[in-house]
Structure formats: structure tokens, C-alpha cells
Amino acid sequence: MGMSLRQIGYEGLLYFTNRVLARIPSHQLRLFFYRRIMRFAIGSKSYIFMDAWFDTKGGLTMADHSVVNQKCRLDTRGTITIGSNVSISAEVCILTADHDPASPSFAGRHRPVTIGDFVFVGTRAVILPGVTLGKGAVVAAGAVVTRDVAPFDIVAGCPARKIGSRNKELLYETDYGRLFW
């Protein structure tokens, strides 16, 4: 079973994006490529640090003043929407696609992930398909989020459960601009 030239070109684009471009220490170059070639909608003063990994073209919307730190996996097949002033720490995995284990054919499915304004996601957290993180939510490092998180809730664990609440008066503006990341 051979691949078409179009499939080969698309696979080559993803290979270049994830294995070459992601390692170039120039945010401006990567940002240009992500916006123009990968068709990601990335807001002003938002950053995607080196070694981010994407599963498809398109499917990412990121508002102003947000950051995706190094070595994150963003499965954009089912779409990811990231609000303003969001901080996603290193090595976070956001999944939007999986397989239905009840399906006789192990059918694939896509469900969007939505991350509200002022959300903080700790290092190595995993966000599963179909999850919404409400405004101001905090996901602790290493948590596995299997269901929606209410606005301003703090969750931790596997599966993630509420452990506290966050101040609702969030007035900061994130700016993670770095020269080589």
C-alpha cells in the first residue's frame, strides 16, 4: 500500500515542523512558520518554546500573552483553544484524539480541548480529549485531567481532583519573551 505524493508531502511537513523547526533557537522564525505554514492562530506576545510537538496542521488557537513551554505535545487534530494569559509548563501533553475502546473497530475520535484565560498548567500534566479548563484554573504538576475543571479550581492527582480554589481577582499579564527559546 503506497502513499500518495500529497501524503508524503504532508508527513514531510510534520517531520520538518517537529524535528527541525522546533529546535531552531529563534522564536520569530518559528512563530512565522506556525502562523503561515501550519495555520495556527497565535496572538500577540504569545510564545511557543522550543521542541513543541504538533500532530497536524491547523487546529490551534492561542490568544494574547500566553506561553507553551519547551517539550510540550499539542495534539491539534481535535483542536486546542488557549485563552489569554495562560501558562503551560514544560512537557505538558494535551491530547484531543483517542480511540473508543468500546468500538469493535477501535474507532478513532476527536474531541476539542479548551483552556480558559489565566489558566496555569504545571509541568508534565496530561490533559485528555474533550476537557475544558475554566478561567483561572490551576492544574498541578503531573496531574492527569480526565474531566472539566471549573473556573478558579486547583486540581491535582491521577485522575485530577479539586484540592483548592484560586483567587478570583487575577490582574496579571504574562510575558515570557525570551531571545532563544
Burial of 167 (0-12, 13-18, 19+ CB in 10 A): exposed
Question: How many residues does the structure list for the chain?
Answer: 181
Q: Which grid coordinates are listed for 18? A: 517537529
99 is catalytic: yes
Do residues 136 and 152 lie in contact, with contact meaning Cβ atoms separated by under 8 Å?
A: yes
Q: How far is the C-alpha of 98 from the C-alpha of 105, rounded, in Å?
A: 13
Out of 27, 65, 99, 110, the active site residue is: 99
Question: How many angstroms separate the Cα of 113 from the Cα of each of 18, 120, 130, 169?
Answer: 21, 15, 5, 25
Beta bridge partners of 115: 82, 133
Nearest to 77 by CA among 100, 90, 89, 94: 94
Do residues 31 and 44 lie in contact, with contact meaning Cβ atoms separated by under 8 Å?
A: no
Listed in order, strand segments (DSSP E) in 15-69 are 41-42, 47-48, 53-54, 60-62, 67-68
Residues marked active site are found at 99
